[in-house]
Amino acid sequence: MVAPSALVPVALLLFAAQEVPPAQRAPTIRPEEATLDDTLEVTGDSVAGAQVETRMAVDVTVDGHGPYRFVVDSGADRSVIGGALAMQLRLPAGPMVTLHGVAGASPRATVRIARLGIGGSVVADVAAPTLPERYLGAQGLVGIDALRGQRLRLDFETQAITIEDTRQPVTTQADEIVVTARRSGGQLILTQARAGTIGVRAVVDTGSQITVGNLALRDALFRRGLPPMVSATLVSVTGEAMTVPVAIVPELRIGGIVMRGVRVGFADLPPFRLFGLRDRPAMLLGTDLMGSFRRVSLDFGAKKVRFQLYRCRTIASAAVRRMRDEGAATDCSPPRGSTPDAK
């Protein structure tokens, strides 16, 4: 049973973009041919971040102008700029691209950004789709085109974001759990995940405010019938909306971490198809879940995701604990709390 409008978080999701070929040319462009120049001037500078709802936003510069507020979106394969900002800066036109949103594919114009600056890092020659700021919830998005070969560290405690060269050594903290991922289309996919007894492929999506599972996961979890559900509205950056059912998944494991009482929406969104995950249980891990950690680091070069836990407190939206070698567990959570863990 779905309770109408009982829970209505808004998720901003950007899906795959690829160039639209001219009419006189056969559509032979492969997705990898439509990716951007991901050359970065690498530094480990920390950029002050601000929360947009539960998403993380940073100050960026566009061709030396700014700063402007861009949301960091690890689920977007291209960086995006707001249409009003692109017009204000008089950026030159780029190629048309196809954006895949919750309601299907649509052609979009791009503009050329010579230098997109994030702290001390610079992405060169960006063809960025333009979308209305009211749908972006910011003046733009930083996508994984700017993050390939880099390490993105999200600090939810201090609201700071660090981008650094993945070749720089990493100091592993005592309360940090490292999970190895595989890469598909530039994205990191976690394979060491389970929802209850179901093996799950999971993608960290910092541009989404809600965690979403595909219908294959829903059907595997609830074979004996659907549990009570509420509804949530997903709004893509193209302005399209989709209402999805949301249920509580009793237990989610990622590597050596256990999360209890996780809210998950269910829909076959385009990213699942893009990453070859439509027909197997899979999840997009949104910032509602990532905010349960002190820090999350996405190492696109080394194909690793690092989760650093909070010290022991009352639980928030999900009960997070680290499983010790001897079988003991420690419950940890972010500063904001609402639902205690029932062990």
CB 337 within 8 A of CB 243: no
Supply angle C-alpha 327, 332, 336, rounded to 5: 165
CB atoms within 10 A of CB 169: 4
pLDDT digits (tens, 9 = 90+) for 116-173: 988 677 888 999 999 989 888 889 988 878 777 678 888 888 877 777 766 777 766 6
Q: Say if residue 299 is exposed, middle or buried (CB neighbours under 10 Å; 0-12, 13-18, 19+).
A: buried
Phi, psi for residue 272 in degrees, rounded to 5: -65, -40
Supply angle C-alpha 93, 98, 63, rounded to 5: 35
Tell me what the pLDDT averaged over the chain comes to.
Answer: 73
Phi, psi for residue 217 in degrees, rounded to 5: -70, -45
Task: Give kind and range of the element (H or E) at residue 313.
Answer: none
pLDDT digits (tens, 9 = 90+) for 3-62: 433 333 333 344 444 444 444 332 222 222 222 222 222 233 334 444 445 567 788 999
CB 278 within 8 A of CB 200: no
Cis check: omega of the bond before 4, within 30 degrees of 0: no
pLDDT digits (tens, 9 = 90+) for 229-271: 888 888 777 777 888 899 999 999 998 889 899 999 999 887 8
How many Å apart are CA 12 and CA 75, to the nearest integer?
10
